[in-house]
Structure 1
Amino acid sequence: MIKKLQNQLKYFDYGLFIPFILLALIGVVMVYSASSINLSYVTGNTMKYFIRQLIYALLGTGLVLTMAHSRPKHWWSLYVLVGGWFILMGLLVVAKFFTDAVNGANGWINLKVISIQPSEICKLYLVLLLAKVFTIYTEKGGHILRRKWAIKDLNFLERLNLFVPEMVISFAVLAMLGMIGSAPDFGGLGINFMIVLVMFLAYANYNYRFNVTLIIGGVTFAGIVAYFMQFTTFLNNSRIGYIIRRFTAVFDPFKYENSSGKQLVNSFYAVSNGGLFGRGIGESIQKRGYLPEPYTDFILSIISEELGVIGVTVVLCLLAWMILRIFLIGIRAKSTYAMYFCYGIGTFFAVETFFNVGGAIGLMPLTGVTLPFISYGGSSMIVLAIALGMVMNISARQKRGTEIEIFGK
C-alpha cells in the first residue's frame, strides 16, 4: 500500500494541483469577503456563502484527486456519450421551459441544496465527445470528407449514407449550442462554441476553406435556432435592445452610468480604488451594494480593490500557468485522444477566464461567466475540478509511459 502510494505521488502533477489549491483557497476567502457585508444587511448570516464555497472547494479537491487516479476507460464509452447527450438536452429543456429566469436567463435548475447549470456541464461533455470523434477520424487517415468524395463510383444515396454519422454529430453539437443560446446564455454559448472551434481547427488544420465554411454555417444555424426560440421573449422583454445596450455600454460606460453601464463603471471604481497593494481584505467599498453579486461575476473587481494589482497579478498568473501547462500536456501527448482532450480543456479554462476578466475591465460585454476556481458556484467548481483531474490523469500516464496503453495511438 505504501509503495503504491509513493508511486502515485511520484507521478502526481503538482504543477496543476498546487495552483488549483491556491486558487480555491483564494476563492473561499474572497467569496466570504465579497458576500458577508450584504448578507449582514439581509439575513444576518454572514457565513452562508463562505460555508457553501468551502464545501464546494473541498468537494472539488476530492474530485480532482479521484479523477487523477481513476481509470479513464469510461471517458469515451458510447453509453456515456450518447446517454450524456440525452440527459444534458433534457436538463437544458427543463432549465429553459420549466424554471424561473435568473438575471434574465433560464439557465439554472434549483435543487435547493445546489443549483445546476447545464451549460457548464456541456463544456466538459463537448470536449469528451469531440475528442473521441476526432480521434476516430484522425486514426482512419485524414479528413473524412477528403476520403469520401474521392470515391467517385458511389451514387448520391450511397454518398449521403456515408455522411450520416457526421450529420448526426453535427446535429447533436449544434442542437446543444442552440439550446444554450436560447436560454439566453451568451457567455455559455461563447465558451462552448470556442471549445468546438478550437478542437475542430486542431483536427482539420490544413483545410481552412472547409473550416471557415463549416464555422459560418454552424454559427448561422445556432443563431437561427436561438432566434426562433427566443423570438417571443425578444418582443415581450425588449431583449434585442438589452443586448445592444450591453454592447454600447462597453464603448462608453460613463455615458450610460445610470443604466446599462452602471455595473461596468462600478467595476472600474473598484479597480481604481485598489491601487497597487489594495485597501485590505474586507475593506472594499464597491461590494456594499454598488456591484451586483460581487462574489460571482465581479469577484476579480473585489480582488483588485482589496488586494490591488499584486493580488490580481497572482490570480491571473496562477490561471495562466494552469492553462499553459494543460496545453503543454496536450502538445506532448503521444495519444491522439489525450491531445484533443487537453486542447479542449485548455480552451475551456482560457476562454472562461478571458470572458470574466474582459467583462470586469470593459474589454467585452458582461456575460455572467465565472472566474475559474475563484467565483462562487457549485456547478462551475465541480465541472472544472473533474476536467482538471482528467488532465492530471493524462499527465501522470505520460510520465509513467503508459499513455498509449490507456488512450491508444
Structure 2
Amino acid sequence: MRSEGVMIRENEARRTGVDPLLWIIPLLLSFFGIMMIFSLTSHTSLEEYGSPFALGLKQLQWLFVGLGGMLFMYMIPLAFWRKYSGVLWLFALVLLILTLIPGIGIKAGGARRWLGFGGLRFQPIEMLSLAVAVHLSRLLNTSEKRGLSAFFTVTSPVLFISVLPLLFQPNMGGTILIFGLVMAIHVNCRGWGWPILFGGAGFSVFFMLILKEGYRLRRYIAFLDPWEQPMDSGFQVIQGLVAFSNGGLFGVGIGKGLQKLNYLPAAHTDYIFATIGEEFGFIGTFAVLFFFLLWAVRACAAYKDASDPFLSTLVWAVSVSVLIPMFINLGGVLKLIPLTGIPLPFISYGGSSLLFMWAKIGLLMRVCREVSLQ
C-alpha cells in the first residue's frame, strides 16, 4: 500500500504537470557537487582566500542564483519564446563576440571565453547553448522546408553563425557542443540523413583544426598515448586515471583523496568526476551516472507526453543540451575522447554553467506544465 506522502507527491505532479524528478535529481547532483568542491578546494581556498570554505560557499551561492533562474524561466509562458527566440539567440551571439574584443573579453589559458562583471566571470557559451536549443526548435517547427533545403537554409545558418565566434576564441569544446546540439535538433525534426553526411564532414574539419594548433595536437597525442609524455601533455590524463585506480570499489573516503593535492589539475572543475572516483570509488561514480540516466528517462517521458511538435522538440533540445556536456566531460575524463574543457553539469565548479543548467530545468518544467494544460 502506497504511503500518503507518495500519493500527495503524485497528485501534485499530476496537477502541475511537472515530474518532480526533473528538478530533484539536478538538485541532488548540485548538492553533491558542492560537497565535493568543499572537499577538493579546502587547502587551496585557505591559501588563496583565507578560508577553506570559500569556493564551496561561492558555488552554494551560485546554486541559489541558479534556482532563482529556474523559477524565472518557469514563469515565462512559452508563447514568449515562440515570438522572441531569435532575440535571445542574437543577444547570446553578441555576448560571445564581445569576448573577442581586447579590453572586454577576458583571456585565460590562451583563449578568450569569458566576460567579466565586477568580480564575476561569465561564459556566454552557456547562454548560447540554451538560445540555440530554443531558437532552432522554433525555426524547424515553423519552416515547411524539408530535406536538403531545410538543412542548408534553416539548420546550417544557425550552426555556422553560432560556432564562428567559438572558433576565434578558440573553444573547441564549445564548438563540439553546439555542433552536436544542432545536429540532434535537426535529427528530431527532419531525420538522420543530412546530419550523418554533414557530421562526417564536420569530423574531418575538427581533425584538421586539431592538427593546426599545437596545444590541440598535444591534447590529441596525450589522448592516444599519455605515457609518451607523462610529465607534460599526458600528465593530467594519467593523474585522472590514477584517481580512479586509487578509489577502487568504495573509495578512500570524502576529503581523503590525494590527487587534489596539486597532483590532478582542474580537480574541482573538468576532472571532478575522477576525484569522485577516488573518494567514493566505483560506487560513487556509478551513482552519479545512474542519476543522470534516471533524469534522462524522465525527460524522455516528458518528450513523449508533448503532442505539440514545437513543445516536443523543445523538450528534446533542452534535454540534449544538458546531456551532451555530460558525455563530452565524461568522455574526456575516462579517456574515451580528447579532453575539451567542458564542465560536468550541476557538479563541476562554475557559476555560469550552474546558472544556465538550472535555467534549462526551469524551461523544461514550463514545457511540462503547458503540456498538461493542453
Task: Give the alignment's TM-score, normalised by structure 2.
Answer: 0.88
Counterpart Cα distance in 1 of 2:221 and 2:147: 43
Trace 1:30-49 onto structure 2 (pairs within 5 A). 30-49=36-55
Counterpart Cα distance in 2 of 1:283 and 1:276: 15
Cα pair distance change 1:276/1:51, threshold 3 Å = same
Q: What secondary structure is seen at the aligned counterpart in 2 of 1:109?
A: strand
Cα pair distance change 1:242/1:56, threshold 3 Å = same
Which residue is equivalent to 2:4?
none
Q: What secondary structure is seen at the aligned counterpart in 1 of 2:107?
A: coil
Counterpart Cα distance in 2 of 1:286 and 1:251: 22
**Aligned equivalent of 1:390, options 363, 367, 370:** 363
1:179 aligned to 2:182? Answer: no
Q: Which moved more, 1:39-48 or 1:244-253?
A: 39-48
Which residue is equivalent to 1:29?
35
1:302 aligned to 2:271? Answer: no
Cα pair distance change 1:211/1:268, threshold 3 Å = closer
Counterpart Cα distance in 2 of 1:211 and 1:43: 48
Given residue 224 of structure 2, which amino acid in structure 1 is its aligned partner? Answer: F
**How many angstroms does 1:215 deviate by?**
4.9
Q: Deviations over 1:109-134 (max 9, x none)?
A: 12234211111111110111111011
1:320 aligned to 2:293? Answer: yes
Q: Which runs of 5+ in 2 are unaligned?
A: 1-10
Cα pair distance change 1:278/1:112, threshold 3 Å = farther
Q: Deviations over 1:279-306 (max 9, x none)?
A: 1111110101111231110111111111
Counterpart Cα distance in 1 of 2:72 and 2:214: 46
Counterpart Cα distance in 2 of 1:239 and 1:219: 14
**How many angstroms does 1:270 deviate by?**
0.9
Counterpart Cα distance in 2 of 1:189 and 1:269: 29
Q: What secondary structure is seen at the aligned counterpart in 1 of 2:169?
A: coil
1:101 aligned to 2:104? Answer: no
Which residue is equivalent to 1:157?
none
1:110 aligned to 2:116? Answer: yes
**How many angstroms does 1:7 deviate by?**
6.0
Cα pair distance change 1:94/1:66, threshold 3 Å = closer
**C-alpha RMSD of the superposition:** 2.7
1:85 aligned to 2:89? Answer: yes
**How many angstroms does 1:223 deviate by?**
6.7
Q: What secondary structure is seen at the aligned counterpart in 2 of 1:107?
A: strand
**Aligned equivalent of 1:337, options 290, 298, 310:** 310
**Aligned equivalent of 2:78, options 55, 72, 76:** 72
Which residue is equivalent to 1:194?
180
Q: Is the 8 A contact 2:155 2:186 kept in 1?
A: no
**How many angstroms does 1:183 deviate by?**
1.1
Counterpart Cα distance in 2 of 1:10 and 1:322: 20
Given residue 181 of structure 1, which amino acid in structure 2 is its aligned partner? Answer: L
Which residue is equivalent to 1:155?
none
Cα pair distance change 1:90/1:223, threshold 3 Å = farther
Given residue 306 of structure 1, which amino acid in structure 2 is its aligned partner? Answer: E
Q: Which runs of 5+ in 1 are unaligned?
A: 1-5, 147-162, 228-233, 404-409
Given residue 171 of structure 1, which amino acid in structure 2 is its aligned partner? Answer: P
Counterpart Cα distance in 2 of 1:304 and 1:277: 9
Counterpart Cα distance in 2 of 1:113 and 1:90: 21
Counterpart Cα distance in 1 of 2:198 and 2:328: 24
Counterpart Cα distance in 2 of 1:197 and 1:321: 24
Q: Is the 8 A contact 1:174 1:218 kept in 2?
A: no
**How many angstroms does 1:175 deviate by?**
1.7
Trace 1:340-379 onto structure 2 (pairs within 5 A). 340-379=313-352
Q: Is the 8 A contact 1:178 1:223 kept in 2?
A: no
Which residue is equivalent to 1:380?
353
**Aligned equivalent of 1:281, options 219, 243, 254:** 254
How many aligned positions are there? Answer: 361
Given residue 334 of structure 2, which amino acid in structure 1 is its aligned partner? Answer: I
**How many angstroms does 1:26 deviate by?**
0.3
**How many angstroms does 1:213 deviate by?**
5.1
Cα pair distance change 1:13/1:65, threshold 3 Å = farther
Q: Report % sequence identity.
A: 27
Counterpart Cα distance in 2 of 1:54 and 1:371: 16
Q: What secondary structure is seen at the aligned counterpart in 2 of 1:173?
A: helix
Counterpart Cα distance in 1 of 2:177 and 2:159: 13
